Amino acid sequence: MNAKLFTADRIGGLIWFVFGAAVVYGSWMMDRLESMNIPPSTAPGVVPALQGIGFIIFALILMFRSEKHTIVNTYAPGETDAAPADNRQESFYWKRILLSWGLCLAYGAVLLGSGIHYWALTVAFLFLHAILLDDTEQVPARPTLRRVIVAAVMALTIATIVTLIFRYIFLVRLP
């Protein structure tokens, strides 16, 4: 089997494609509230459907863009498919994916309904995500203090902007 078929982008794109299709299907199955004379453009499933379509579009882009990062094909010159050069890089990618999934699950499934204010929880989530998933091997010149400051500023800024947008534009109070 050709190892170039299993690139990180293609695997990630396939996962996002399936997720996007599930979101579109779920939004299609939502009650349209026709009995309440609600116009179709304001039905509850419109925004999730658009988001699902966006996931699908970006998943397709991710699956078919250039093949720079491979997960399976990490061989040194002169080695065969049977003898991988270094499985540490492949293991590193999967550890990052699992850590990201763990953080997302902890954020969405466990902590969001626990009474912690949305803004504080989002700051903590974004900060941990930026710090724990920063690829310091690729950027060795960045000092640790700078990474922490940039992650903190980024997390504070994004959480504040999202909270303000929901409160003053969408008129939704976040928990």
Write out pLDDT tens, residues 150-168.
Answer: 899 999 999 999 999 888 8
167 vs 175: CA distance, rounded Å:
11
36 vs 25: CA distance, rounded Å:
23
What is the pTM for the complete model shown? 0.56
Mean pLDDT in the chain?
A: 79
Output the pLDDT for position 59.
92
Tens-digit pLDDT profile for residues 17-50: 999 999 999 988 887 777 777 777 777 788 888 9
Output the pLDDT for position 70.
47
State the helix-helix crossing angle for 118-132 and 144-164, rounded to 10 degrees: 150
145 vs 148: CA distance, rounded Å:
5
19 vs 59: CA distance, rounded Å:
9
Q: What is the mean pLDDT of residues 95-110?
A: 84
Decide: 86 and 32 in contact? Cβ < 8 Å.
Answer: no
pLDDT at 136 over 70: no
φ, ψ of residue 7 in degrees (nearest 5): -85, 160
